[in-house]
């Protein structure tokens, strides 16, 4: 690639690819490539930039992230939060440390938070965001499991740390989600979503923990020019700090062996280590590059690779129809455990790896935890993608969704879909039937006891057979039947959600039921155009809903199910429809209501609508900071739309009249 035009073309490609990956990771809490792949592409870009002396303005080597999403207020950090230069080479790390006393600590994989205390009280919590501007999450930070609400130090204190959710808590939360396809992918994504909730009650239930790793400012405190003393002082103030070891270049190996040996046992995610000079003045004197501070360095685990042979691709159908490819390979030892399988995620990745049965592949554990295929050495090519679903033997089709090729089963009666569908049907937010786990449902379906949702309510006639099944007895069988009996009385939104209509969650079901008067007969005959009148119901959701009820067999099954159910009456409308025909937009923090959703609920039950953006159809913008120069305020002023405070809104509710 010596031709300069070719080099520039490749640099632009790398910037775009890495930009997409970073945007997905930091803004959307999803991963589109492995850490290994990202690091390789990043290093390739760095090498090309050094070779050409050219750095593109959007290069990730000079930027530190992406703008925060709009749902939470933004705030500029007092001190920019830069990324750290990194290496996977221990000798490079040793060279950085040299003879300097250095703190070597875990590089936790969560969400970085900046806390500010004044007069001994937590005043503010802000996410890292793009390193310059973050999102204000103060209310959520207050319900972290281990953050002190008050400290003895009365001056201004600013510190940084990582919010994380432990593996054990992550697994517990996922176990409570009946729909396997809806479970969280990893602790980092769960933590990010939990910290950035608009309702901190949800955050509190996720048991987020905070570990301090850096002190930015503490007015009047004397730390004897030592980062170690800062960490000790933070512990004295009641903070949990990230575990660290004091090292020099000579003692690095012992500490590295300690961390490497412990990483697999940790209950928290970590993607490496951080080295920070203890001498504060010396470290600060080094300054920083455009992207990195010079007083710290990150070490990422050099993923242990093992070469093995791909023996087969196992295709695993899901409730949604997606058939996931899973690589099965000759078992190998990695990071202290035996692994023999790794998810390949989709056909696009298979094609990229040119993955064929019998290929010699190199596998590793991403962050020493999740098995991944890192490289295909023989690249024989993708062959034998199944034409039939392995569960039902119906047609399997390759479809392109969001620029990704995946395999789907389109048979509505596929047993794999049935099992997942039944699991959703009995889940807590749906019919809420205790005692019907996925394994039990699979057993009942296999024995022919249930084939339709309504059959669950006829299980009494199989009592004798159920009692004889493994895991059941008289008491457990009776408990199950009692739970089924209790579930006969339900609400229409729960029933609609329980049917498993693609793209229809409980919240969408509530919106649709409310819009059309809780009339099930009406719901079953809606058109796409009619559904589009409901707030938040776009063409995809409308299409899924209409298509579901256009299926004759599904309607017959629903008719059978309805013979067993008692649908409760629709909620009575107790409020005058004073907001009928009015559109509201809500932005910023609220003080009197629990959250913005609570304000939205008050508007909707009085006939109004709440939208996400200010347009010519907006009647009121609710913002406690009436004079701010936010984009929504500017748009409202431009369109001459009234900007009202929360108190103004409450006065509207009290007076039951609209003021000019």
Residues with catalytic annotation?
107
Cα separation, 88 vs 364, whole angstroms? 15
Three-state SS annotation for 356-381 = CCCCEEEEEEECCCEEEEEEECCCCC
Give, for 333, the enclosing helix (H) or strand (E).
strand 322-334
User: What Å distances lie between residue 608 and 171, 601, 653, CA to CA?
Assistant: 40, 9, 12
Cα separation, 32 vs 22, whole angstroms? 9
DSSP letters spanning 50-106: HHH----TT-TTT----PPPTTS-EEE-SS------EES-HHHHHHHHTTS-EEEEE
Give, for 113, the enclosing helix (H) or strand (E).
strand 111-118
Cα separation, 151 vs 221, whole angstroms? 14
**Residue 490 · residue 483 · CB < 8 Å:** no
Alpha carbon 593 to chain centroid, angstroms: 26
> Half-sphere exposure of 219 toward its Cβ, with a 13 Å CA cutoff?
10
Cα separation, 338 vs 335, whole angstroms? 8
Cα separation, 189 vs 162, whole angstroms? 13
The pair of structure tokens assigned to 471 is: 């895991």
Cα separation, 213 vs 64, whole angstroms? 19
User: What Å distances lie between residue 549 and 357, 384, 395, 526, CA to CA?
Assistant: 42, 35, 22, 9
Tell how strand 102-108 and strand 270-277 pair up: antiparallel
Work out whether the CA dihedral 389, 394, 399, 402 comes out positive or negative.
negative
The pair of structure tokens assigned to 298 is: 């990150």
Residues 6 or more apart whose CB falls under 8 angstroms from that of 43 comprise none
Distance from first CA to last CA of the chain, Å, rounded? Answer: 68
User: What Å distances lie between residue 525 and 528, 548, 598, CA to CA?
Assistant: 10, 11, 31
The pair of structure tokens assigned to 399 is: 């479809």
Cα separation, 113 vs 519, whole angstroms? 47
């Amino acid at each position: 690639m010596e031709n300069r035009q070719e080099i520039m073309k490749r640099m632009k490609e790398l910037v775009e690819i890495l930009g997409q990956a970073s945007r997905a990771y930091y803004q959307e809490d999803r991963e589109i490539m492995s850490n290994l792949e990202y690091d390789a592409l990043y290093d390739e870009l760095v090498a090309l930039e050094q070779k050409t002396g050219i750095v593109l303005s959007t290069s990730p080597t000079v930027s530190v992230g992406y703008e925060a999403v709009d749902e939470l207020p933004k705030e500029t950090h007092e001190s920019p939060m830069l990324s750290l230069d990194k290496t996977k080479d221990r000798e490079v790390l040793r060279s950085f440390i040299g003879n300097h006393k250095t703190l070597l600590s875990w590089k936790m994989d969560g969400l970085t938070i900046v806390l500010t205390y004044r007069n001994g009280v937590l005043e503010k919590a802000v996410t890292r965001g793009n390193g310059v501007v973050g999102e204000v999450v103060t209310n959520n930070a207050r319900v972290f499991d281990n953050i002190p609400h008050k400290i003895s130090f009365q001056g201004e204190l600013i510190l940084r740390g990582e919010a994380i959710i432990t593996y054990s808590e992550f697994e517990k939360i996922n176990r409570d989600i009946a729909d396997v396809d809806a479970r969280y992918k990893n602790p980092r994504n769960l933590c990010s979503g939990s910290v950035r909730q608009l309702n901190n009650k949800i955050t509190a239930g996720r048991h987020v923990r905070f570990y301090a790793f850096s002190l930015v400012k503490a007015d009047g405190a004397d730390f004897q020019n030592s980062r170690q003393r800062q960490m000790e002082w933070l512990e004295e103030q009641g903070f949990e700090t990230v575990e660290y070891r004091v090292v020099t270049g000579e003692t690095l190996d012992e500490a590295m062996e300690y961390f490497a040996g412990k990483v697999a046992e940790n209950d928290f995610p970590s993607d490496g280590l951080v080295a920070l000079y203890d001498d504060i003045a010396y470290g600060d004197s080094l300054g920083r590059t455009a992207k990195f501070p010079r007083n710290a360095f990150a070490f990422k685990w050099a993923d242990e690779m093992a070469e093995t042979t791909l023996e087969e691709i196992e295709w695993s159908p899901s409730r949604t129809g997606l058939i996931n490819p899973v690589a099965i390979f000759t078992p190998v030892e990695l990071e202290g455990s035996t692994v023999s399988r790794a998810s390949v995620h989709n056909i696009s990745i298979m094609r990229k790896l040119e993955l064929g049965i019998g290929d010699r592949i190199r596998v590793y554990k991403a962050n020493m935890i999740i098995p991944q295929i890192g490289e295909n050495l023989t690249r024989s090519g993708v062959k034998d993608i199944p034409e039939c679903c392995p569960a039902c033997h119906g047609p399997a089709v390759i479809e392109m969704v969001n620029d990704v090729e995946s395999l789907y089963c389109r048979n509505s009666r596929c047993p794999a879909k049935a099992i997942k569908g039944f699991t959703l049907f009995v889940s807590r937010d749906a019919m809420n039937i205790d005692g019907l786990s996925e394994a039990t449902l699979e057993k009942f379906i296999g024995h022919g006891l249930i084939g339709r949702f309504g059959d669950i309510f006829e299980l009494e006639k199989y009592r004798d057979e159920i009692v004889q099944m493994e895991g059941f007895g008289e008491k457990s069988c009776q408990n199950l039947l009692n739970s089924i009996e209790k579930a006969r009385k339900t609400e229409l939104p729960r029933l609609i959600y329980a049917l498993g209509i693609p793209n229809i969650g409980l919240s969408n079901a509530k919106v649709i039921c409310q819009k059309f008067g809780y009339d099930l007969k009406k719901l079953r005959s809606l058109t796409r155009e009619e559904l589009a009148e409901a707030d938040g119901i776009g063409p995809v959701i409308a299409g899924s809903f209409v298509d579901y009820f256009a299926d004759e067999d599904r309607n017959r099954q629903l008719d059978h199910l309805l013979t067993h159910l008692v649908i409760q009456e629709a909620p009575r409308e107790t409020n005058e429809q004073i907001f009928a025909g009015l559109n509201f937009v809500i932005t910023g923090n609220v003080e009197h209501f629990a959250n913005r959703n609570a304000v939205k609920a008050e508007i909707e039950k009085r006939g109004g609508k709440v939208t996400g953006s200010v347009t010519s159809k907006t009647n009121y913008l609710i913002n406690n900071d009436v004079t701010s120069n936010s984009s929504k305020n500017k748009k409202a002023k431009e369109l001459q739309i009234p900007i009202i405070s929360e108190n103004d809104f409450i006065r509207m509710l009290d007076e039951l009249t609209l003021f000019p």
